[in-house]
Homo-oligomer: A and B are copies of this chain.
Amino acid sequence: MAALNLAKLPTRAPADYHKTTTLRELKKLRQELIDLQDRLYAENKHSVLIILQGMDASGKDGLIRRVFSGINPQGVRVFSFKEPTEMELSHDFLWRVHQQAPSRGMMQVFNRSHYEDVLITRVEGLITAAEAKRRFTAINAFEKLLQQAGTTVLKFYLHVSEKEQQGRLQERLTDATKQWKYEKADQRKAGQYPQYQAVYEDVFHHCNPGSCPWHIVPADQNWYKAYVVARTLRDALLKLDPQYPGN
C-alpha cells in the first residue's frame, strides 16, 4: 500500500460545495438511509459496520447525530469504545471489539474502535513497533472475517486540521454546553497532533487493503463531513441492494 501523507490531504470541502445546498443534499440522503436501513433490517442478510476514527475534537459525536438521527434505532446501534476495563485487558485486544460486531440486518457504528489499540497505545508508548505490526495483521484478518460473514465494513477518518482542533478544544473550555467534554487529557493531546498524525499514517499504510479501504473525510466543516459519510454509507447500501422478503 502506498504511503499516505495526511498533511497533503484537504481538511475542508472542495470549493464547489456550499453549505446550504450540501445540507439540502444531506437531508435527502438521510431519507434514503431511512429507507435503505429498513430494507437491510427486513432482508436480514447483510450487516454494516461503520468505524469512526479521528483525533480529539474531530467531531465524531456530532457526526453520529447528524447522519443517524431519524433512522429507526431498532436497526442501528452505536457503541463508544472507552478505556478498556480490567476484564477486557485480560484478553486479546480484539476480544471486546468482536462482541460488538453487528448481527445480520443491523447497522453498527463504532465511535472509536480497535484502531485505538494501535494509535493511543503507540503515542503513549504502551506497545512496541513489533507489537503494532502483529496487531495490524490481526486487524486485517478480523475485518476480513467480518466481510466474509456478510458485513460491509466502512472505515472513516475524520481529518481535522491542527488549527481547527485547537480552536475546538479551546471552545470546550468556554462553552457551557461543551465543558462536559473537556478532559485534562485534552490539553496534552492537543500538543500531540504530529504524533497522532504519524501513527494514523502508519495505520493507513498497514490496514488499508483495496477490499477494506479507509475513507479520509475533510472534517473542518461539520456539514461537509456529515454529507460525505452519509453519501458513502448510502452508496454502500445501494450496492447491497437489500430487498424486502418475498419480493
Q: Which residues of A contact B (CB under 8 A)?
A: 44, 87, 90-95, 98-99, 101, 103-105, 134, 137-138, 141-142, 144-146, 148-149, 151
How far is B94's CA from A105's CA once the two chains are assembled, in angstroms?
18
**Across the two chains, which residue of chain B brings its CB closest to A140?**
B141
Query: Is the CB–CB distance between A149 and B98 below 8 Å?
Result: no
Decide: A145 and B149 in contact? CB cutoff 8 A. Answer: no
Decide if A94 touches B98 in the complex (CB within 8 Å): yes
Q: Is the CB of A95 within 8 A of B101?
A: yes
| B101 contacts A145, C-beta separation under 8 Å | no
* B134–A138 CB distance below 8 A: no
Q: Which 9 A-B pairs have the closest CB atoms?
A: A92-B149, A141-B141, A90-B104, A90-B103, A98-B98, A138-B145, A92-B145, A134-B148, A91-B103
Which of B92, B95, B149 contacts A148, CB < 8 Å? Answer: B92
